[in-house]
Structure 1
Amino acid sequence: MMKVERYLILFILVIPVLILRDFTPNNELKYLSIVDEALRDGHFFTFYNQGEIYADKPPLYFWLLMFSKWIWGEYSMFGLSLFSIIPALVSIYVMNKWVEAETGASTRWTASLMLFTSALFIGSGLVLRMDMLMCMFILLALYTFYKRYSGKGRPIDRFLLPFYVFMAIFSKGPVGIVVPLISMIVFLMVKKEIRHFGHYFGWREWGILSGFCIVWFSCIYLEGGSAYLNNLLFHQTINRAIDSFDHKKAFWYYGVTFWYAVAPWSLLYITTLVIAIKKKLLSTDKEKFFLSIIGSTFVVLSIFSAKLDIYMLPVFPFCTYLTILLLPKEKEKWVSFTLYIPIVALTIAPAALFFIERKPGIPDSPFIYIAVALLFMFSLTACWLLYRKQMYKAINCTALGILATLFTGAFALPQVNPYIGLTTAAEKAQDICEQEEIDHYYYYRFRSGENMDVFLHEEPVKITNEDSLLNIYQKGDCMIFLKEKDVMRSQTLQERLKKIHHEKIGNYYLVHPPLPVQYSETSLP
């Protein structure tokens, strides 16, 4: 098995990002606001965002956020990020364990690096979302099924299989049951053993899964009533699948997003798979199962109305490890060529930094230049290794270069954070309000502004039009948050900002009349 030190290396290389990054306003800050509201109101199975039902997500991830706040005493980015990065590393461990019989330790290290540096996989491991948690439980469910199918299962696996499926549902929702069940059914159909499906997921397994769901739904009904339960089971589940009110995309959506979702390895995955299918190289049950998971998930999720690129996350580990299983069987030059393209692109990419015009106001950091220099050196070395026909070493070098770039560039985050999130602006606003005895917070239209209550400890009031904004400013005793892009879209706001008291923090303007309010100097004409 791959040594634990290598998992530790992967973890260490992302620690600076986990510690130094700010919360993103649109999702992460919203989750924290939802948790605060639940703790304040004593809700643990039903969740609300500013008083509105939020049945989009099951409770497990919110419970973990609550637990982290209890442990750390606050919302620690590092503490909260553990619930994404640890499931990512566990997912890699499960896949390495799965292919242990067919691969050596060095090959599994290459696979680990490929999966960990796939764009959407590492992105999901670094942000505060429940998708990686769901991915981990889906992998555990499928691995448990395969152990039972191959005759290596244990008696407890009859309980663990439905338990993992439930935990996947409890993490994210219906995708948690759709992916494992459809994958198992399709694989058994390929093997012409569909009649044995009940042996792996029979009455006992359905009973265990149903029992967990009944307990969960009962708790929802007791705490939130039939309206919340109906929203969860029908509005958020059936309606999203058939005619989604949100994230509605075309059938071919995942065919487009796949190319960047698993970059820089997408060409390698596709080429390897196409050659294997064309030459009938998929000979083992394990390879056929991996392909069944990829194909069935891709088709079923494409049929659903609601689509997000991150929904395909459980497929990416199988793309990586099926490629690793098939590469020794393929000798075509096309396979190496698919690596030249992304590696050469990564070699050239750092040069673009010197030609792209930097956005005014964004601070310059030496860490960014060190990071791109590292990317250039690692990628150039990988090109040389490819030329020497050392493909696995070239993959390792490229992946480690990406991680070294991420590790080094992360030290520039404290300077960039005001352009990522709202923490700096909110803290500055609080200091100003305390000094000038301002009691009221407002924000102008921008998304998730209401969730600044996480920092401000009170809900800011939304301003919907320019006239209201100007009237509120003239009355005084106010702190108004404006987003830069809203100002840039309005010539009126640009002109007014030249004549009123404000401060610029990252992407936000803090507009506040100084006390005492001198209307002759600061009031609007």
Structure 2
Amino acid sequence: MSGMGAMRVSGAGVAICLAVVIILARVAALPLMPIDETRYLSIAWEMWQHQALLVPTLNGEPYSHKPPLLFWLIQLGWWLFGTSGWVARLVIPAVGLTAFWLVADIVRQLAPDARREAGWAPLVLLGTTLWFVYLPLSMFDILLSTCLLAAVDAWLRYLCTGRPRLVLLAGLGLGLGVLAKGPVVFVYWLPLALGTRFWWPDRDLHQARTWTALLAASLLGGLIGLAWALLAALAGGADFANAILWHQAVGRVSNAFDHARPWYWYLPVLLIALLPWSLSSLWRRPWAATPLQRFAVWGSLPPLVLLSLISGKQVHYLMPILPFLAIWISGRLVAHPPSRPWGNAALLMGLAGVLAVLPDLSARLFPAAPLSPWTRLGALVPLALALWLLRRPCRAALVLAWPLTLFTLLLLLSPALQRYYDLTPMARRLSALEARGIPVAYAGEYHNQFRFLGRLETDLAVIDDARALRDWVAAHPRGEVIEVRRAPTARQVEIAGYHQPYRGRALLMVPAARWPAFLAASADAGG
């Protein structure tokens, strides 16, 4: 497999096939992850119920935090294939599969002779920790990255051919990026596009025509996003208009209302997100400043600096720069064949140690879902892969060992994750209550975790004030109250009509008639 002649031609195809297996297995083995995945699918379901396209809603209220492309795509999947959970969960990962082809095509457009780099770049991307983790999730960042890559690919094709319609395709990719996650797409696009003359191999680039095309593509992308925003602002009201046109963009940049972190926060996070490549000796090898390598640097370093200056920070904001880092790493991988990758082998052996004690770790983290002692045998997978790396340090071993190990870990841990993160039992209970006309209140901050899983038709009453909750209980004696407790007592669990583990806490459903007794038990427990 070290020659990998076929992979030089169809590396994207190999990556897509492996990704399909990973996606299907993880969707089958793992639940929808609260609170993000459950919230986004519930928003799509709510829009589907109300036949609403312009204004996303969460539990009946306009949802201004994200644009609608993800919700539209999920609804398109339902329209084509029916409203099953599998369809809902596979739409966004299926779109994300095109990112592997786009990465390979970008390399081919910029460096037609770099066939080996075009083959390895998608596989490097697949094996990068952050991309691997988010690949099967119905979230915005893989979608945003795919839209950005589509715009970049069209831009490179325009530079190669000069065809005006490719400028329109680049603008369309940017517009979809705006509809995927807002104007943040320009944080990744503009540094790369504005630096075209520094990485494009043809020094005779027609400057005036290039700048005009860049301006046209960027304006078109912005106008596509603005068209939705203006229509949604008219339909959603003044508060919603202010939120999507000003608060969500400017507030995150200057003084984050959410996820505010120091400027250097991404530096240690990137070391983890880039595993196993952050431990590779490839970084220490001599660097040839080829157009492909310069392109990869322009696609990753300036956006990283801009993201560090922006107040709001999350690990998945790094996702759109990972394809460019994968291109850079693939170039290094081709130029410098691996020899005794001790860092990668040590990482695998470390994870083998984790798998060897996984039942013990799980018993501490997930006491209600003990793992079988046979789970320890999973340690043999990374040990065998580490041995492969050290005895025959080929590129295939370097690229595939880490994602196979992560895949093993997730599958072995899946029973515990199902028990603690699957909200389907509670959602089905809510569906049964809804069918009987019994009202339900959620005490605290509600993220619409149950609507899609239970296919609920009505909004929950969300109450975060103790006095208001007492009034609601008094007015709805047949109702039920949902509350999350960190460590409920045995008495509280006994009073509650239903409970289940939930993200290291407990999710309880308490009949309104028992709510005073539940509060008394809370007072006795010091809660």
Which band: TM-score by shorter chain? 0.7 to 0.9
Structure 1 gaps of 5+ residues are: none
Structure 1 residues 207 and 379: CA distance shift in structure 2, 3 A: closer
Q: Secondary structure at the match of 2:495?
A: coil
CA positional deviation for 1:163:
1.4
Q: Secondary structure at the match of 2:450?
A: helix
User: Where does residue 196 of structure 1 map in the other structure?
Assistant: 207
Q: Partners in 1 of 2:341 and 2:113 — Cα distance?
A: 22
User: Where does residue 388 of structure 2 map in the other structure?
Assistant: 385
The answer as to whether partners of 2:32 and 2:38 remain within 8 angstroms in 1 is: yes
Structure 2 residue aligned with 1:394, among 394, 397, 408? 397
Deviates more, 1:20-29 or 1:324-333: 324-333
Structure 1 residue 185 and structure 2 residue 194: aligned? yes
Give the aligned residue type for 1:80. Answer: A
Structure 1 residues 327 and 102: CA distance shift in structure 2, 3 A: farther
What per-residue deviation string (whole Å, max 9, x for no partner) do you get for residues 20-79 of structure 1? Answer: 4333332223223333443455532223334544222112111112223334543x3321
Structure 2 residue aligned with 1:220, among 206, 227, 232? 232
The answer as to whether partners of 1:23 and 1:77 remain within 8 angstroms in 2 is: no
Structure 2 residue aligned with 1:345, among 350, 372, 377? 350
Structure 1 residues 343 and 25: CA distance shift in structure 2, 3 A: closer
Give the aligned residue type for 1:159. Answer: L
User: Where does residue 494 of structure 1 map in the other structure?
Assistant: 489
Structure 1 residue 302 and structure 2 residue 308: aligned? yes
The answer as to whether partners of 2:129 and 2:403 remain within 8 angstroms in 1 is: no
Structure 1 residue aligned with 2:498, among 496, 503, 521? 503
The within-5 A match list for 1:25-36 is 25-36=34-45
Deviates more, 1:219-228 or 1:60-69: 219-228
User: Where does residue 480 of structure 1 map in the other structure?
Assistant: 481
The answer as to whether partners of 1:425 and 1:506 remain within 8 angstroms in 2 is: no
Q: Partners in 1 of 2:493 and 2:291 — Cα distance?
A: 69
User: Where does residue 327 of structure 2 map in the other structure?
Assistant: 321
What per-residue deviation string (whole Å, max 9, x for no partner) do you get for residues 206-256 of structure 1? Answer: 553354345334422442355433321211112211222112111111112
The answer as to whether partners of 1:35 and 1:65 remain within 8 angstroms in 2 is: yes
User: Where does residue 142 of structure 2 map in the other structure?
Assistant: 132
User: Where does residue 458 of structure 1 map in the other structure?
Assistant: 458
User: Where does residue 98 of structure 1 map in the other structure?
Assistant: 106
Deviates more, 1:306-315 or 1:215-224: 215-224
CA positional deviation for 1:465:
6.1
Structure 1 residues 364 and 311: CA distance shift in structure 2, 3 A: same
Give the aligned residue type for 1:503. Answer: Y
Structure 1 residues 346 and 265: CA distance shift in structure 2, 3 A: farther
Q: Secondary structure at the match of 1:481?
A: strand
Q: How many residues were matched structurally?
A: 499
Q: Partners in 2 of 1:394 and 1:302 — Cα distance?
A: 33
Structure 1 residues 322 and 66: CA distance shift in structure 2, 3 A: same
User: Where does residue 175 of structure 2 map in the other structure?
Assistant: 166
The answer as to whether partners of 1:446 and 1:483 remain within 8 angstroms in 2 is: no
The answer as to whether partners of 1:452 and 1:460 remain within 8 angstroms in 2 is: no
Q: Partners in 1 of 2:259 and 2:204 — Cα distance?
A: 36
Structure 2 gaps of 5+ residues are: 1-8, 522-527
Structure 1 residues 132 and 193: CA distance shift in structure 2, 3 A: farther
User: Where does residue 5 of structure 2 map in the other structure?
Assistant: none
User: Where does residue 377 of structure 2 map in the other structure?
Assistant: 373
User: Where does residue 441 of structure 1 map in the other structure?
Assistant: 440
Structure 1 residue 17 and structure 2 residue 12: aligned? no
Q: Partners in 2 of 1:350 and 1:518 — Cα distance?
A: 44
Q: Partners in 1 of 2:98 and 2:348 — Cα distance?
A: 28
Structure 1 residues 24 and 189: CA distance shift in structure 2, 3 A: same
Q: Partners in 1 of 2:73 and 2:44 — Cα distance?
A: 10
Structure 1 residues 397 and 295: CA distance shift in structure 2, 3 A: closer
TM-score normalised by length of structure 2: 0.82
User: Where does residue 260 of structure 1 map in the other structure?
Assistant: 272
Q: Partners in 2 of 1:95 and 1:495 — Cα distance?
A: 54
What per-residue deviation string (whole Å, max 9, x for no partner) do you get for residues 106-136 of structure 1? Answer: x766543432132221222221112111101
Structure 1 residues 522 and 390: CA distance shift in structure 2, 3 A: closer
Q: Partners in 2 of 1:50 and 1:481 — Cα distance?
A: 15
The answer as to whether partners of 1:257 and 1:309 remain within 8 angstroms in 2 is: yes
Structure 1 residues 429 and 59: CA distance shift in structure 2, 3 A: closer
What per-residue deviation string (whole Å, max 9, x for no partner) do you get for residues 163-205 of structure 1? Answer: 1111111111112122111112234356788982751534543
Structure 1 residue 84 and structure 2 residue 79: aligned? no
Q: Partners in 2 of 1:496 and 1:59 — Cα distance?
A: 44
What per-residue deviation string (whole Å, max 9, x for no partner) do you get for residues 419-441 of structure 1? Answer: 1032212213544787xx67121
What per-residue deviation string (whole Å, max 9, x for no partner) do you get for residues 447-480 of structure 1? Answer: 42x5534424333334546787788778842323
The answer as to whether partners of 2:128 and 2:273 remain within 8 angstroms in 1 is: yes
Structure 2 residue aligned with 1:59, among 68, 80, 83? 68
CA positional deviation for 1:332:
8.9
Q: Partners in 2 of 1:322 and 1:130 — Cα distance?
A: 24
Identity %: 19
The answer as to whether partners of 1:452 and 1:459 remain within 8 angstroms in 2 is: no
CA RMSD of aligned residues (A): 3.7
The answer as to whether partners of 1:418 and 1:424 remain within 8 angstroms in 2 is: no
Give the aligned residue type for 1:282. Answer: A
Structure 1 residue 231 and structure 2 residue 243: aligned? yes
Q: Secondary structure at the match of 1:174?
A: coil
Q: Partners in 2 of 1:359 and 1:159 — Cα distance?
A: 51
TM-score normalised by length of structure 1: 0.82
Structure 1 residues 138 and 51: CA distance shift in structure 2, 3 A: same
Q: Partners in 1 of 2:220 and 2:469 — Cα distance?
A: 56
Deviates more, 1:208-217 or 1:186-195: 186-195
